[in-house]
């Protein structure tokens, strides 16, 4: 029995339109996986189907040996899967802090709380009483990531993670962010210089509208650990 995520032959539709054509992949604990593809290839649909926001027509999603196919999104969050959706989907009539608190309603134990999130994103503490959608696009992305982390997930799915982030920030800090999220703390380094090059996601695949099985499936090689000498940049506003 796998301790991670297994997607087998997933097919999903929007009405009569088929968005996923038999997607299969396997992800083990500690791995970082990236999927790329053109607009309309099914990237967001894959994540929504895993999370229960889109009902799969056929195929299966298994998480830690439990079948998740057909379960509502609330059940997948309770099982430790969180999604940062494309477009952020913040509640515009709620403050930054209220949006974050909503993410913790499942009451899963773990390292993430308002305190640790504000350590990670200090600008959100400063703006915690402001309407979430009044923030800049970059800051709204921080809120969306923070809301997902508040559920203390074991698996976090990020759709368009670098959306609204400056290109320079994405290039220098994005490879290090999974390490920070996994440790449940803010980056400790105050070094303003660019960090040393870090490893890419341990596996990746491209999606097209044809049936696709990720090249390393069903057994994906273990993720390369982040070298201890890499200093992670601060996540500022």
Task: List the chain domain ranges.
Answer: 5-189+200-207
Pairing of strands 33-37, 203-207: parallel
Three-class SS state of 128: coil
Which pLDDT score, from 0 to 100, does residue 39 have? Answer: 80
Q: Cα(first)–Cα(last) distance of the chain, in Å?
A: 42
Q: Are strands 155-158 and 17-27 parallel, antiparallel or unpaired?
A: unpaired
pLDDT below 70 — which residues of the chain? 1-2, 162-237
Please give the pLDDT value at position 70.
Answer: 86
Residue whose tokens read 């996540």: 235
DSSP letter assigned to residue 213: B
Closest by Cα among 129, 121, 38, 49 to 83: 49
Q: Can you give the pLDDT at residue 150?
A: 92
pLDDT on residue 44: 87
Sequence-distant (≥ 6) Cβ neighbours of residue 168 within 8 angstroms: none
> In the prediction, which pLDDT does 116 show?
92
- Edge-to-edge strand ranges of the sheet holding 5-14: 17-27, 5-14, 56-63, 66-67
pLDDT of residue 91: 85
Q: Would you say 83 and 31 are in contact if contact means Cβ atoms under 8 Å apart?
A: no
Q: Which CATH architecture has domain 5-189+200-207?
A: 3-Layer(aba) Sandwich (3.40)
Distance CA 159, CA 142 (A): 13
Going by DSSP bridges, is the β-strand pair 33-37/56-63 parallel, antiparallel, or unpaired? unpaired
Give yes or no for a contact between 39 and 89, defined as CB atoms under 8 angstroms apart. no
H or E element, residue 175? none
- Decide: residue 41, CB within 10 A, 0-12 exposed, 13-18 middle, 19+ buried: buried
What is the CB neighbour count within 10 angstroms for residue 49? Answer: 25
Residue 131 β-bridge partners: 95
């Amino acid at each position: 029995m796998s301790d991670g995520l297994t997607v087998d032959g997933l097919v999903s539709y929007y009405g009569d339109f088929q968005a996923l054509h038999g997607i299969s992949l396997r992800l083990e604990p500690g791995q970082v996986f990236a999927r790329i593809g053109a607009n309309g290839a099914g990237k967001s649909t894959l994540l929504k189907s895993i999370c229960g926001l889109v009902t799969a027509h056929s195929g299966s999603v298994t998480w830690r040996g439990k079948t998740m196919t057909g379960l509502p999104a609330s059940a997948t969050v309770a099982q430790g899967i969180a999604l940062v959706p494309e477009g952020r989907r913040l509640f515009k009539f709620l403050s930054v802090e209220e949006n974050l608190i909503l993410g913790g309603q499942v009451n899963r134990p773990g390292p993430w709380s308002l305190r640790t999130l504000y350590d990670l994103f200090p600008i959100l503490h400063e703006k915690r009483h402001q309407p979430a959608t009044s923030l800049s696009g970059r800051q709204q992305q921080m809120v969306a990531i923070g809301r997902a982390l508040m559920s203390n997930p074991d698996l976090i799915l990020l759709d368009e993670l670098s959306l609204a982030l400056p290109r320079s920030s994405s290039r220098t800090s994005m490879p290090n962010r999974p390490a920070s999220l996994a440790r449940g703390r803010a980056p400790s380094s105050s070094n303003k210089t660019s960090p040393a090059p870090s490893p890419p996601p341990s596996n990746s695949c491209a999606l097209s509208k044809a049936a696709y099985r990720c090249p390393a499936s069903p057994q994906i090689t273990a993720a390369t650990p982040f070298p201890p000498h890499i200093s992670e940049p601060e996540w500022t506003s």
